[in-house]
Amino acid sequence: MSSLSKVTVEAFMKCSTPKLIGGVFMSEQPKSKIDMSSGWKSFEELKESYSPAEIKFEKARRSIGLWLGPLLFMIILLMPAPAGLTFKAQEVLAITALTITWWICEPIPIPAAGLIPFIMIPAMSIIPLKDFLAVLGHENNWLMIGAYIFIGALVQHGFTKRMALWILSRKVASVSPFALLFTYTLAVAIVSAFLSNIACTMLFLVIGAGVAEALNINNVHPFSKAMKFGAAYGSQAGGFMTPIGSPNTNFLAMGLIASLTGYQVRFGDWMAFGIPFGIVMLVIMIFYFRGIFNLKLENLGSAREYAERELKAMGPLTVGERNGLIVLITAIVLWLVPSVASMILGKDAALTKYLDTVLNGTIVALFAALLAFLLPTDWKERKFTVNWTNSEREVNWGAIIIVTTGFALGNAMNAKDVGLLAWSANQLSYVFAGSSPWMVILGLTTIGVALTQFLPNVPAIAMLIPIAVPTALAVGLNPVAIGLTVAIACQQSYAMPIAAPQMALVYGSGGLKITEFVKVGSVLSLFSIPITAFVIYNWTNWLFPFLAK
């Protein structure tokens, strides 16, 4: 087992109350050198899980990016402006190029690079500081804060781990190796629908390590590898299913679509297409694993016995777990009520509009967070489901900065006296001139999938949705459907460890060669292009026909 695997296993198995810090689990034991609360690490920290060749690559990537970003900024700023591009648009484009280059190459942490637009855009008098900083109060930022707090209650008290072990302890898991892998990956997706992808992946790497030990197989056994990919890819599929499954990307997409089209995608709206698509991708993934990995196992029942043993060790459902579950169910029901009312009464009904206001997604998330503070676990001692100290650590402030940067760049590009989005849409409309609508959809989806193999999901969404939506309007496509299609495309990051934190976590756990990672992920990424383009666009275009042009 690799050093990272040992660290994660010890963090879970030695501590009965794992906590969620910055979206991932950490133990109350002294922290290891590998701090999974941040995607960015020093070279000294990377030595724990990276080979010398990989360290060398990281040094080159960060050093090149450090100088390439400012160089691109100066080149774009000083070059002759293309026809129709204002100087302010050129300035915003230069700032965006610098920010994205540092996001890709990571000479500094990604959230820190996200501060660049907040410094440079007001300083260069592109948009007044007061107006530009208004994006910090974006409702989706507060939605994320509320969601991080109340979802953290489920993790702190161990309910997510209990649910995962309960699924693995079902009889169906011991029918065959394929059934075990199917059950394992399904459990990943279900948990990930309500837990951030990286936290879910880390949880299942630990559970997977326990399953492998029970089966007496090592880290490089085909079934171990299949479980590792199942942890990463299954969390990706679960993240599609609900907005809180992958809050950084999904809430950013919802916010950008709202600002560009005027339509706020509700929680229930997202689930209406997210759950079917997540299931489709999950089934494809599992059968894909079946085709490429040798899933032969001995002592198959040992995995179920392990899950039952761990579940028994957890004891009965605790008060904290029950309270966390109450909060989660309350939030989901309240989130779904406006969507159900819209389906039954119509979107223009007075009651639907009232519920949209009263049960706005942000209001519900903050109410759920407050409810978690109010539900006691020990009234005599005044102990509650969450406390303020833990809630401060549960909120992933880095993710919120990155998402806010995406909103800010989108607003800057779309500002009246900037016009960068309109100019970009015109350029893309020339590129797609004469193409069928389906070629436009397929082209934008391909760009999104390709971008996210090398660029983190959030920056990819922040860059592409503001361009894709105006392009859709220019060629007569449904702008909301295109925005959602691109949002999902920008999360199909399977081929490179740098593409998403959960991919890096799985690769860093050992047992997988980079060539193997790229080979397995590239095929799935290619499969995802036509599936995303045609399934998501058609489905969302049917869900939101009144927005079609």
Token pair of 384, please?
């509650």
- CA 257 vs. chain centroid, Å, equals 17
Amino acid at 489: A
Q: Which of 32-36, 71-75, 146-150, 341-345 has the lowest mean pLDDT?
A: 32-36
Q: How far is CA 17 from CA 12, 231, 394, in A?
A: 8, 22, 14
**Mean predicted confidence (pLDDT) in 244-250:** 85
The helix/strand/coil state of 315 is: coil
**Mean predicted confidence (pLDDT) in 523-534:** 92
| Residue located via tokens 């760009």 | 447
Q: Is the pLDDT of residue 38 over 70?
A: no
Q: Is the pLDDT of residue 11 over 60?
A: no
Quote the pLDDT of residue 233.
Answer: 92
What would the pLDDT profile of 260-270 be if each residue is shown by its tens digit?
A: 888 888 888 89
- CA 487 vs. chain centroid, Å, equals 10
DSSP of 164-176: HHHHHTSGGGGS-
d(CA 271, CA 243): 8
**Mean predicted confidence (pLDDT) in 362-376:** 92
What would the pLDDT profile of 483-495 be if each residue is shown by its tens digit?
A: 999 999 999 988 8
Q: Is the pLDDT of residue 121 over 90?
A: yes
What would the pLDDT profile of 394-415 be if each residue is shown by its tens digit?
A: 787 887 887 788 888 878 887 8
**Mean predicted confidence (pLDDT) in 118-126:** 93
Q: Is 288 exposed, middle or buried (0-12, 13-18, 19+ CB in 10 A)?
A: middle
**Cβ within 8 Å of residue 74, ≥6 positions away:** 94
Long-range contacts of 280-284 (CB under 8 A, 24+ apart): 280/531, 280/535, 281/236, 281/237, 281/240, 281/528, 281/531, 282/185, 282/186, 282/189, 282/234, 282/237, 282/238, 284/524, 284/527, 284/531
Q: What is the mean pLDDT of the chain?
A: 82
Query: What are the strands, taking DSSP E only, across 354-418?
Result: 376-378, 383-384
d(CA 104, CA 62): 9
Task: Answer left, alpha or beta for residue 376, where phi above 0 means left and psi between -120 and 50 means alpha.
Answer: beta
- Alpha-carbon dihedral sign for residues 454, 459, 462, 463: negative
Which pTM does this prediction carry?
A: 0.72
